[in-house]
Amino acid sequence: MRSDTRPWIWAAVVFLITFAGGFLFYTFLTFILAEETSSALIAFRQDFLFVLLLLFVTPAILAGLAAALMVNRYVRPVEKLSDISSLLGKNTSLPEYSPSGITFIDRLGQNLDAAAKRLNDQESEMQEQLRSASRKLSRERDTLATIIEQLQEGLVVTNKEGRILLFNAPAEQMLSLPDKNPPTYLGLGRPLDQVIENAPVQLAIDESRHPDGNGSFRFTVSSPGDQLLQIRAIPASLKDDPDSGNLFFIRNITGSVLKHHKEEEFADDGIRRVRDSVAGIRAAADNLKNYPDAGADMQEQFLGLILNETETIAALVGDYQKEQGKNKPGEGLNQVISLSALLGMMQRISAQSGLNLSFSFPEDEPYVEADACSVSISLLYMTGKIKELMGDDIRIASESADEHHKIKISWTGEEPDQDQLQNWIGGFPEFDGIKLPFSMQTVMQQHRAEWWTQSEDGSCEFNMILPKAEKPASPKTGKGHFDFDLFQFSLSSEIAKTPLKKITATVFDTETTGLYPSDGDRLISVGAVRILNGKLRENQSFHHYINPGRPIPEASTRIHGITDEMVAEKPNAAHCLKDFYRFCEEDIFIAHNAAFDMRFLELEQRGAGVDFSRPVIDTLLLSTILHPNLEGHSIDDLATRYGIKTETRHQALGDAIMTARVFLKMIPLLAGINIHTIEDATRASRESVYAKIRY
């Protein structure tokens, strides 16, 4: 309704009400007054009807005009103020208020103008603060990224669920090994414990946050590249924030371990040679003592022997000092930890596994120098072996001496024979899914530890002694200096509800010997690239050629350029698809004409021992929904339509990258027709006529 007609509508309503009221009042009087008076009123109406109507109409008109004036004078200014107030906080400029001449309304309008001005000033100030904070955050992120890239250690940052948020180049060099068998791919959004098999990632996250720990947890694993990696996990936040992630610092200690072994060999050889020299000196001294009358030549010969052996010992000592001088601070494989913390860690790990053990903790606070993870897993591994043969009544306690601390595993029953014990100690410890990359004997040697068993009156013990260590100084902690809002990122557990603009997926394409997978055509190439959080990651790609086990027709070669010679020495499809499965893992798939590519995967996946069942988004089907009246829905048509430069067409990786770019261009267009999530896209795709195609 137009605002300028509203007063006259009110005037009409008031006119009708006033007129009807006057008529009803007149009629009412004719009924209640005396008969003589009532007859006079009726006669007056009959004789002076026009005058009577004028008496009714005139007040009604005046009342209607008064109502219109009231609406114009009081109601419309208030309504205008109401409309103006509704625009507050909407980032719009308010229309100027025109004074109405009514004091209280004009005062309200003036207050509203002042409030709008203050709000606009505050919004402008807030926007400037946001821009300043954004610039500062950008600089801090750039600085932090530079620092991370310059670290000599590998660094992987995960969220609270252990999924990778970022990593630097050294970490990628140590953990991303696509050429190994089996290959590994370090990728954003992937669980770290799937990149490093048998790694106690969740244990490290839990223990680094445990109140009894020292704020970090170290463990050693074997990488797919047959390298020993020492990984140190610490919480990403100094505050006790359960939603913060973890930092994993990775160091290749293969050289340190080899050096440690060489040092032991050097020391053993030096000791043997010193003993030989001391024996020669002693023999020469005995001869000088026993034969005082020996000739000068003989005595000179004995003295020369003593001098030579002394110089040999001096040279050995010098060599040893030089070798020791090569050691750098921080290259040790162990850390100082309290015995209570070590036993507490063992207790928590055993409880999680369901192993029922009794623990006794020391009353004082002794410290040992140890690799807590390898010692804990080794002792629990030994406990598990003992439990398999001896029963459930197993107790773990500690004792302290002047130079060492002893951890003992005691039980009631028989003592294992020495061959069995040696076999256990020579094995690689494994407990509750955590497997060490070296034997328990190596753990003993690394810790200069000794072990033995003893039994008395039906009670047996396995004893392990560790060297004492001094209590470490408390580390200095302080407030961090970064506002890095990275840990809010987490992959949705409900894939169907994931917004397309936040999608994480593997976009793939295949090249084949022909177009009929059910009639014997086979894969000859698979290429893929990842989209993470709605962004194309071309540096996370996969491209393998496959030997199809049959000739490639010339007609197919003319399309994709792949010849029999190019795939003759390549592995078969089963080997390639195992690697591809490791690359894509939990990601959903995106492909163009996905039914064709998925059919080839379905035919080959059983031989590879994998299953590619997962949600699939087809850009061909989405194109028919977005552009139902346009001709052409091929990947070339879409690339032209969206202004995407075509490169390396009919190569699996090149086509996968182009499909990814096409899909990202589609996302805002799909939002325009109310398709926002993976569930929306798959539901709409089923309505396309192309969804009925089968291969």
Residues known to be catalytic: 650
DSSP-based three-state secondary structure for 531:
strand
Nearest of 207, 192, 185 to residue 162 by alpha carbon: 192
Local structure of 395: helix, strand or coil: strand
The tokens describing 17, both together, are: 């009400």
Rounded Cα gap, residues 219 and 224, in angstroms: 16
Q: Strand pairing of 228-235 and 367-370?
A: unpaired
Given a contact cutoff of 8 angstroms between Cβ atoms, the answer to whether 549 and 572 are in contact is yes
**Residue in the block written with tokens 């061909």:** 620
The kind and range of the H/E element at 164 are: strand 164-167
C-beta of residue 580 within 8 angstroms of C-beta of residue 460: no
Distance CA 220, CA 230 (A): 4
Q: Which amino acid appears at position 230 of this protein?
A: Q
Q: Which of 655, 544, 487, 488 is CA-nearest to residue 185?
A: 544
Q: Smallest Cα–Cα separation from 619: which of 668, 569, 687, 665? A: 665
Helix (H) or strand (E) holding 218: strand 217-222
Token pair, residue 588, equals: 């959903």
Q: How many helices (H) and strands (E) does the chain have?
A: 22, 19
Alpha-helix runs per DSSP H in 151-200: 169-175, 192-195
Residues 663/507, Cβ–Cβ less than 8 Å? yes
Q: What is the DSSP letter of 184?
A: B
| Distance set, CA 354 to CA 348, 462, 561 (Å) | 10, 22, 58
CB atoms within 10 A of CB 528: 28
Contacts of 634 (CB under 8 A, 6+ apart): none
CA dihedral 567, 569, 575, 581 (to 10 degrees): -50
Token pair recorded at residue 534: 């709605």
Query: Contact at 8 Å (CB) between 453 and 460?
Result: yes
- Distance CA(412)–CA(391), nearest Å, equals 8
Helices assigned H by DSSP within 466-509: none
Distances (CA, A) of 685 to 26, 285, 320, 482, 621: 75, 98, 74, 44, 5
* Rounded Cα gap, residues 381 and 376, in angstroms: 8
